Copies of this chain bind each other. A is one copy, B any other.
Amino acid sequence: MNDTFLKACRGEQTPYTPVWFMRQAGRYLPEYQKVRRKVSFLELCKSPALCTEVTLQPIDIFGFDAAILFSDILIPMEAMNLELEFHEGRGPVFPQPVRSQKAVDALIVPDPEATVPFVMETIRLLRKELQVPLIGFAGAPFTLATYLIEGGSSKVFLNTKKMMFQEPELYHHLLLKITACTSLYLQAQARAGAQALQLFDSWAGILAPCDYEQFALPYVRSIIEDLRAMTDIPLIYFANNGATLVRHTVTLGADVLGFDWRLPIGDAIRQAGEHAVQGNIDPVALFLPKERLEQRIKTMLADAREARGYIFNLGHGILPETPPDQVRIAVNAVHRCSGR
């Protein structure tokens, strides 16, 4: 069992720098595309056998130091009594956006073991196969709320912010339900055998820090408190585009803070204090010619040498267009340049 990743999460010494990539199981891999030709994205997410297969692919191919459960942050939202569709090239769609008290009232806080048992089954199957730690995950409440309120992705998040600003009680009511659902969901993942949990706050970076503090932070804190009460596995919080939120995110009680590429890793480490740090090379830097990619990784490792614990990752999900050979170059460079 390779526990380098878990040690780095806990700020313990590691023989080399562990590495995994957000969305490492995904569309850039021909092996994944082969599976996807047989089933839709939602069907894939609900099949423990296929989820297990695609989760294992990048571990077997590239030797990543951690696996992350293949799923989507919106899977547990569907279980709240919402219709969810995925359209090729357009992303997720909730045909009935949640914008009224009636719509919020109609949401249930489901028992994940009853509504999304396939996720826990995938975790149990993966634990039998894996020689590296398995990361479970969920979306952070604010990010999940944006999808529900907007009905999908958005550019300026007008409906979400309008609800925050004009109907704060309705917003709070919605977020409490999402938070309860997410907390139960992550607890179930931990019970099923997840060895670390990551909260993805993909849209945190659209908020002014004063609004983040009021409309996003309290719900993340609540989930982390719930998890702390039942497990001691490492908790990772990733606020995308969150460079100006660090003074708030360091108060959350997570073990690891994940960063996108906009904040230099040395700055991230200084601001993260006692936290381990995960990140943060620009996903498009994987398109650099081999020597310059290796040089960039070497520089990042050097800049991260003062970290209490450091996990190499991309600053965002790997792009579908990424050549798998470049992933191999990057993973090998992280390992070689950090002493493996």
Contact = CB atoms under 8 A, between A and B. Distances in A.
Given A156-B319, A241-B241, A264-B244, A161 B287 contact: yes
Interface stretch (A27-35, A68-76, A204-212): A204-212
Interface string A279-295: 00011110111001000
Contacts of A288: 165-166
Interface string A218-242: 0000000000000000000000010
Given A166-B289, A261-B208, A289-B166, A158 B244 contact: no
Contact of A284 (B161, B205, B209, B284): B161
B165 A292 contact: yes
Interface in A236-282: 241, 243-244, 261-264, 267, 282
A262 B243 CA distance: 9
Oligomer copy total: 2
Contacts of A261: 208
A282 B244 contact: no
Contacts of A207: 262
Nearest to A293: B165
A166 B267 CA distance: 27
B241 A165 contact: no
Q: Which 10 A-B pairs have the closest CB atoms?
A: A161-B284, A208-B261, A165-B288, A244-B262, A243-B244, A208-B282, A244-B263, A162-B287, A243-B243, A165-B287
